[in-house]
Structure 1
Amino acid sequence: MTLIKSISGIRGTIGGATNDNLTPIDAVKFAAAYGTWLKDYAGKDKLKVVIGRDARLSGEMIQNLVVSTLVGLGIDVIDLGLSTTPTVEIAVPLEKADGGIILTASHNPKQWNALKLLNEKGEFLNAEEGAKILELAEEEDFNFAEVDNLGTITTNDAYMDIHVDEVLALPLVDAEVIREKKFKVVVDGVNSSGGIAIPKLLDALGVEVVKLYCEPTGHFPHNPEPLKEHLGDICKKVVEEQADFGIVVDPDVDRLAFISNDGEMFGEEYTLVACADYVLGKTKGNTVSNLSSSRALRDVTEKHGGTYEAAAVGEVNVVTKMKANNAIIGGEGNGGIIYPESHYGRDALVGTALFLMLMAEKGGTVAELRASYPSYFMSKKKIQLTPELDVDALLVAMHNKYKDEDVSTIDGVKIDFAENWVHLRKSNTEPIIRIYTEAKSQIAADELADRIIGEIKEIAGL
């Protein structure tokens, strides 16, 4: 069982011992730390925080604990109930709230949950703010409100509809253009809130929806990370239904993957490439993704006359660089679309609408669209960490081994070779080392990953 404390929040497995897992006591402690920090940060007595959760089995329990803790601190709560990460992000500024908490472990399996923390803009906290909250949680020096000053709870279950309306109002989204194409799409909502939110958007755009795992029961029918090895059912369903394509989201709906009309993966790396292609074709500008993302975004950006920059992995790092570089679209290669015209957060609803506009204007099939982009292939592998492994020493050793290559240490170690690259980093969300590679064939990408894993294991004596 595991508890991971990072600048982006607290994430862990349900059950077990306190301080080692996400138990009720840990949930209360970290909610209290966030609320205590927020009162100091906002510099005022009366605060308001937006709370929403995905459909995972522990969600309602964790939500009750977090909401009650904030109320106990004298903070008013806007309770969205079942929601999505981007929905909470847009709700915070719309409600003029002082912050937000999303209760979701994103792509992690059902035994996990997390508190993801937002500021008054509905954006993730930076490293300094996150570190302060972790410090407060360790100290456990909380000052709760007296009975006459307790916070209040206001429920609002309309925000998924409001979110859809916000997407429809974007200048580059034209519902009539999409509606005329009479698209048919299969949606895999992994039995979480995406099974509600994505069909709502598609219905509003006049798209015929075939639902697959769209009941928000929290019983994930497959590993919820939207990778090829987990998506056999929807790949088959797209072909059976003769659909134009398939849409897959993770439990909190900030990651987006497409299935082509032939039942093959469009490639989650190419979600951002396609959406950026559409946006850059309408508006000149720059892009940003993280160091683990495909070179294809750079190629498409330069084709449209823009400049591409890479940020450290993590949404807050990408957003920071996007603001610095005036990027008009960006995100992460895991299918996370960040479109500032909407908000600075990964949003599968925004990505879906932009992709539909691209398809409506370009014509042809999704498979043909994918074939039109620069062809890169990625391998995403991992090494499970054990307490005796010194990860930092391993990364230094790999850096030294390849010091004559083009090496970046902004985030872990990224080695850029002429024809391919490898990125090694310790995960912020799981006890693993991630090994991402990209090459001009799948075989070459897999072979590079396997070679690097072998070298790491040799150095570690595994």
Structure 2
Amino acid sequence: MKRKYFGTNGIRGVVGELITPDFVSRISSAIASYMLNKGTMVIGSDSRLSSPSLKEIVISSFLAQGIEVIDLGIVPTPLVQFAVPYLHADMGIVVTASHNPPEFNGLKVIDSDGIEIDIVKQKGIEETFEAETYQVGKTETNKSITKMNLISEYINQIIGFVNVDLIQKKKLTAVVDGGNAVGSLVTPYLLRDLGIRVVSVNCQLDGKFPGRGVEPDPRKLRVMGYTANQVKADFSVGHDG
């Protein structure tokens, strides 16, 4: 029976068990081989302690397949989804495990339209991986990495969808619990740009997620709720990892 690697939100597992350097190198090579013969991919990662090294493995695997790489750094998943069509790239990858505990990590594969790949492409990647019909270690010295920061562009696009004047007139207050994760890099700034007073909780990046853990369930958002009551907030936002 063929093993299934993709779950409901990409490939995820415990680092050192499923998610090893060798596995990430081989699955990245399979993704590159199945998805692209040439072109450009966009990559970003969350703030987990394992993400930088895993991202470098993914980048190396794509460069070895002759694919240009645009590195967005540490960013939320939706920003990578925005960046792929915005930059006219062919696909994207996010190194992330979302709401899973810190010892987890994984890969989320984004298609050219900014949406996660469908089940047909997931199966195609799995079959390519299992059949080992991909190359590892091929050298393409003319391919390069471009580093970009698109946070401002992402925020500006979101702002373009709403009535800023109406929001500003309401003089709102919001509490944002970033969960020590990458949502902290966007949400407080987006809301402030909309004229909203923001009170931040757990908005310092920390790959161990010490503030309240990565899962934004009601039990773990009590500090956010207490703070919202104290400052008489109009609404609150709690992010996962």
TM bucket (normalised to shorter chain) is: over 0.9
Contact 1:74 1:144 (C-alpha < 8 Å) held by counterparts: no
Say what the alpha-carbon RMSD is for the aligned residues. 1.8
Check if 1:33 corresponds to 2:30: yes
Amino acid at match of 1:67: I
Match of 2:13 in 1: 12
- What is the CA-CA distance between 1:160 and the residue it aligns to? 1.6
Match of 1:212 in 2: 201
Matched residues, percent identical? 33
Q: 1:220-268 CA deviation, whole Å, 9 max, x = no partner? A: 12232221122111111111222222111112xxxxxxxxxxxxxxxxx
Match of 1:347 in 2: none
Match of 1:203 in 2: 192
Contact 1:4 1:12 (C-alpha < 8 Å) held by counterparts: no
Q: What are the equivalent positions in structure 2 for 1:165-244 lying under 5 Å apart? A: 165-170=156-161, 173-220=162-209, 221-244=211-234
Amino acid at match of 2:20: T
Amino acid at match of 1:237: T
Q: Secondary structure at the match of 2:66?
A: coil
Match of 1:290 in 2: none
Q: 1:171-206 CA deviation, whole Å, 9 max, x = no partner? A: xx1111111111111100011111111011011101
Q: 1:98-117 CA deviation, whole Å, 9 max, x = no partner? A: 10001111111111111011
Q: Structure 2: 5+ residue runs without aligned partners? A: none
Tell me the distance in 2 between the aligned counterparts of 1:105 and 1:72: 25
Match of 1:54 in 2: 46
Amino acid at match of 1:70: F
Contact 2:181 2:239 (C-alpha < 8 Å) held by counterparts: no
Tell me the distance in 1 between the aligned counterparts of 2:97 and 2:233: 30
Tell me the distance in 2 between the aligned counterparts of 1:235 and 1:186: 8
Tell me the distance in 2 between the aligned counterparts of 1:54 and 1:209: 23
Tell me the distance in 2 between the aligned counterparts of 1:115 and 1:148: 23
Q: Runs ≥4 in structure 1, deviation > 6 angstroms?
A: none
Greater Cα shift, 105-114 or 148-157: 148-157
- Cα separation, partners in 2 of 1:167 and 1:150, compared to 1, 3 Å: same
Contact 1:4 1:10 (C-alpha < 8 Å) held by counterparts: no
TM-score, structure 2 as length reference: 0.92
- What is the CA-CA distance between 1:82 and the residue it aligns to? 0.7
Tell me the distance in 2 between the aligned counterparts of 1:9 and 1:239: 37
Check if 1:104 corresponds to 2:96: yes
Q: What are the equivalent positions in structure 2 for 1:93-172 lying under 5 Å apart? A: 93-144=85-136, 147-157=139-149, 159-170=150-161
Structure whose CA Rg is larger? 1
Q: Secondary structure at the match of 1:10?
A: strand
- What is the CA-CA distance between 1:148 and the residue it aligns to? 4.7
Tell me the distance in 2 between the aligned counterparts of 1:32 and 1:148: 14
Amino acid at match of 2:94: I
Q: Secondary structure at the match of 1:231?
A: helix
- Cα separation, partners in 2 of 1:38 and 1:4, compared to 1, 3 Å: closer
Q: Secondary structure at the match of 2:5?
A: strand
Tell me the distance in 2 between the aligned counterparts of 1:27 and 1:146: 16
- What is the CA-CA distance between 1:46 and the residue it aligns to? 2.9
Structure showing greater relative contact order (alpha-carbon pairs closer than 8 Å, 6 or more residues apart): 2
Q: Secondary structure at the match of 1:69?
A: helix
- Cα separation, partners in 2 of 1:4 and 1:129, compared to 1, 3 Å: closer
Match of 1:246 in 2: 236
TM-score, structure 1 as length reference: 0.49
Q: Structure 1: 5+ residue runs without aligned partners? A: 40-44, 252-462
- Cα separation, partners in 2 of 1:239 and 1:4, compared to 1, 3 Å: farther
- What is the CA-CA distance between 1:4 and the residue it aligns to? 7.0
Tell me the distance in 2 between the aligned counterparts of 1:151 and 1:93: 21
Q: Secondary structure at the match of 1:142?
A: coil
Contact 1:161 1:200 (C-alpha < 8 Å) held by counterparts: no
Tell me the distance in 1 between the aligned counterparts of 2:142 and 2:26: 18
